[in-house]
Each structure stands twice: as C-alpha cells, then as structure tokens.
Amino acid sequence: MNLYLRLLWLLWQLRGLQRRTIFEASRLTFRVLPNDLDLNLHMNNGRYLTFMDLGRVHLTAQAGLLGEMRRRRWMPVLAAAEITYLRSLEPFDRFELVTRLLTWDDKYIYMEQTFERDGELCAHAYVKGLFLQRGGRVPNAEVVAASGYTGEAPPMAEALQRWSELTAVKRDSKK
C-alpha cells in the first residue's frame, strides 16, 4: 500500500511542477521506511525498481509529456533494466533518486537512474523502454518532439552501448 501512497503523493506534487527540457535530470527525495526493508534490514532490491518507476513518471511529467501521453493514449513500457547495488540504504535513510534521459535509437529510449545518499552513489541503473499505442510502437522521434525537442539523439556512451548489445543477445537467444 505504501507505494500507492507514494505514487499518489507524487501525482499531487506534479500539479505545480515547472516544465524543463527533456535532458534535465529529475530529482526526487524519499526516505527508507520499515516496509521497504528486507530480512537484512536494508532496502529490498525489488523496491529500487519500484522507486525507479516513480522517477520515470516524474521525468515524463517534467518534460511535459504526461498530458500528451494521456491525450494520445501512449503507454510507456519498460523493455530492460540493469541495476548495480553499491551501498545499502538503511532504515530511515533519506535518499535522492536521479533520473536522466541519455539517448534513443530507432526502437528504445535509454535512461540512467541513480540512488544517492548525502551525495554518495548507492545504486546505479540503466533502463530502456518504449511507448506503445493502439496499432504498435510510437516512433521515438515523435515522443521526443512532443516534449519540444527537435534535435538529434545524443551519442550513446560505450557502457550503455555494450549493455544494449547484451540485452539484444539475451533477447535473440530466446527465439
């Protein structure tokens, strides 16, 4: 239930959100609550992924895309996520979730999400996703243009390129 309350709180906060460029990082602050903990009494690894959902909602709203998504009936879909846990988040720790759009290609939009406590990196993740509508996939150029950005996609960093290639190998090995 706690995560629904956090989502409702986030949606309430979006009312006065100032629009920013699609490349400006989204920053959300949370606190580790007792129901976020696992048996080792630190934040459960699955909770990180759920918080990341909230970060992507915030980034989408901040870029001015949330209303456009509703109007056009676009559905965001996550295709892959890779997370590295570096330091534990302990009970009642305050942390910041930072979500950044990195780039896009013909099929996917790539983002980076980090968990930081007092300026210290606790977890790092790459995610890739896409938008669907009735009839198929929404072209990424259309999604990005709806945010007001008309330029080219930034170049993909080598680490992100390798991760993307690995996810393609995994996908293709299951066919």
- CATH number, domain at 95? 3.10.129.10
**pLDDT value, residue 43:** 95
Q: Considering the domain boundaries, does residue 9 fall inside one?
A: no
Residue 109 lies in a domain: yes
DSSP 41: S
Q: Does some domain include residue 10?
A: no
Structural domain includes residue 11: no
Domain count, the chain: 1
Q: Give me the domain span that covers residue 89.
A: 19-173
Q: What is the pLDDT of residues 100-113, one digit of tens each?
A: 999 999 999 999 99
Query: With bands split at pLDDT 50, 70 and 90, how would you rate the model's confidence at 19?
Result: confident
Does residue 167 sit within a domain? yes
Q: Shortest CA distance to 83 belongs to which of 60, 57, 114, 120?
A: 114
Q: Does 80 score more than 50 pLDDT?
A: yes
Longest Cα pair distance anywhere in the chain, in angstroms?
48
Q: Judge whether residue 10 has pLDDT over 90.
A: no
**Residue 8 domain-assigned?**
no
List beta partners, residue 95: 30
pLDDT given at position 2: 66
Task: Give domain status of residue 39, yes or no.
Answer: yes
User: Model confidence over 47-57: pLDDT tens digits?
Assistant: 999 999 999 99
Write the burial class of residue 152 (CB in 10 Å: 0-12 exposed, 13-18 middle, 19+ buried): exposed
pTM for this structure?
0.90
